[in-house]
A = this chain, B = another copy of it.
């Protein structure tokens, strides 16, 4: 109630609303926002850039392809006329899937069905002929613990599906992803020789979804893979009928020495406060299936397009706006850590950093990590942000990469609608054709409007 009375006092003293004092400015900003939105939607320039990027293929950290894409992005930023463009070197993990995996159910040495499978990112290989063992199905680490004396020598099948009942699919993802990340550790505790998981996805199809998994040095490193959602149902049913069936799993992946890589950085220098920096970016690495169109080619290209929209519309930002394409978010965050180190020691002042890493769907809001005064200041821009489909500004949840920029005044996460994201996330279906041009361009526009307001108003 205190805040309410403070607001009230202001009203009573001023005799007018807070908004009316600045209504002319709001209308001015709204017109700029309209122009940004119209330009993005009509020209679809970023969307066409994303098409180019996707033609290069997937961009897993340490891969040759990721370097091709890095050099492409650098050249593209130079072509677009950014004031400075550079590569920030960083060493990244280098894991390769190798030859295509194999997974199949056998009943008394007779093939029942081959399953759609993808090694999890970071998994060790099986021996060259694969591993064959009985399967124990569990739905949680608690259940695994209860059945721990049945695990030895078996392949553990973690089959708990993502909770479709949660309205936010990131929460749904969170309801199941522990099996993927920690499954091999938990299973190894009790002597399992391998792990398969039900793909963490909102789509009832049979395309497997990969993603990072972890080991600890104190336990044996056992191979781990994801199988398709429908094949997971099939395996469950088969196990009910025949608990002694055998699963063969063959993974050919390998971890190499760390590889040289780079963050790609481009900026337009501010005309008035060039030492105040607004970062906008996504992560440039992707998994090695599909082409990382939504995750996170889209966020990267939208971030490039933010700067390009300033160029196209001849808007000169008061503060420096910098596009940072962080490498290695998927399996190490090395790029973000490296940029964070630079930010910590730079004489510049990072006033804000915006991360786009939730797919290229219709914009709905911005998550903000900052003190409440700063969040309130940003929330007051909603009448302008609404022009770009932004409905709300909320506390918390900015993003993994920007969180490494610890000295920024505000960390922001761009939030689009998330209903379809987990359908394609980390799978071979994360391709350009799954990106809708208008939804993509609205994302570019929403971030450009936010960057424009930050650049004009500061924090």
Q: Do A419 and B438 form a contact, CB below 8 Å, given A1-B17, A167-B41?
A: yes
Contact of A11 among B4, B165, B420 (CB under 8 A): B4
Query: Does A71 sit at the interface, judged by CB under 8 A?
Result: no
Q: Do A417 and B165 form a contact, CB below 8 Å, given A8-B8, A17-B1, A392-B391?
A: no
A38 to chain B: closest residue by CB: B165
Rounded to whole Å, the gap between the CB of A363 and the closest CB of chain B is: 10
Residues of B within 8 A of A417 (CB): 362, 417
Query: Cβ of B41 and Cβ of A164 under 8 Å apart?
Result: yes
- What is the size category of the interface that chain A forms with chain B? 20 to 34
Which residues in chain A, 334-350, are within 8 Å of chain B measured between CB atoms? none
Please measure, in the bound complex, the distance between the C-alpha atom of A417 and the C-alpha atom of B362, giving whole angstroms. Answer: 8
Query: Cβ of B392 and Cβ of A419 under 8 Å apart?
Result: no
Query: Does A436 sit at the interface, judged by CB under 8 A?
Result: yes
Rounded to whole Å, the gap between the CB of A30 and the closest CB of chain B is: 12
Please measure, in the bound complex, the distance between the C-alpha atom of A442 and the C-alpha atom of B169, giving whole angstroms. Answer: 12
A17 to chain B: closest residue by CB: B1
Query: Cβ of A420 and Cβ of B439 under 8 Å apart?
Result: yes
Query: Cβ of B167 and Cβ of A387 under 8 Å apart?
Result: yes
Which residues in chain A, 371-386, are within 8 Å of chain B measured between CB atoms? none
Q: Do A164 and B42 form a contact, CB below 8 Å, given A8-B8, A11-B4, A391-B364?
A: yes
Interface string of A146-161 (1 = CB under 8 A from B): 0000000000000000
Query: Does A199 sit at the interface, judged by CB under 8 A?
Result: no
Query: Does A202 sit at the interface, judged by CB under 8 A?
Result: yes
Query: Cβ of A438 and Cβ of B41 under 8 Å apart?
Result: no
Rounded to whole Å, the gap between the CB of A19 and the closest CB of chain B is: 12
Query: Does A389 sit at the interface, judged by CB under 8 A?
Result: yes
Please measure, in the bound complex, the distance between the C-alpha atom of A434 and the C-alpha atom of B196, giving whole angstroms. Answer: 32
Contact of A37 among B41, B167, B202 (CB under 8 A): B167
Please measure, in the bound complex, the distance between the C-alpha atom of A356 and the C-alpha atom of B182, giving whole angstroms. Answer: 44
Rounded to whole Å, the gap between the CB of A371 and the closest CB of chain B is: 24
Please measure, in the bound complex, the distance between the C-alpha atom of A438 and the C-alpha atom of B422, giving whole angstroms. Answer: 11
A169 to chain B: closest residue by CB: B438
Residues of B within 8 A of A438 (CB): 164, 169, 202, 419-420
Rounded to whole Å, the gap between the CB of A112 and the closest CB of chain B is: 28
Rounded to whole Å, the gap between the CB of A73 and the closest CB of chain B is: 26
Please measure, in the bound complex, the distance between the C-alpha atom of A38 and the C-alpha atom of B167, giving whole angstroms. Answer: 8
Rounded to whole Å, the gap between the CB of A277 and the closest CB of chain B is: 29
Contact of A419 among B166, B202, B439 (CB under 8 A): B439
Query: Cβ of B11 and Cβ of A167 under 8 Å apart?
Result: no
Residues of B within 8 A of A1 (CB): 16-17
Which residues in chain A, 1-40, are within 8 Å of chain B measured between CB atoms? 1, 4, 8, 11, 16-17, 37-39
Residues of B within 8 A of A38 (CB): 165-166
3 closest A-B pairs by beta carbon, nearest first, are A38-B165, A391-B391, A419-B438
User: Could you list 17 A-B pairs, sorted by A, with CB under 8 Å?
Assistant: A1-B16, A41-B164, A41-B166, A41-B167, A42-B164, A42-B165, A164-B438, A167-B388, A167-B389, A167-B442, A202-B438, A364-B364, A417-B417, A419-B436, A419-B439, A420-B438, A420-B439
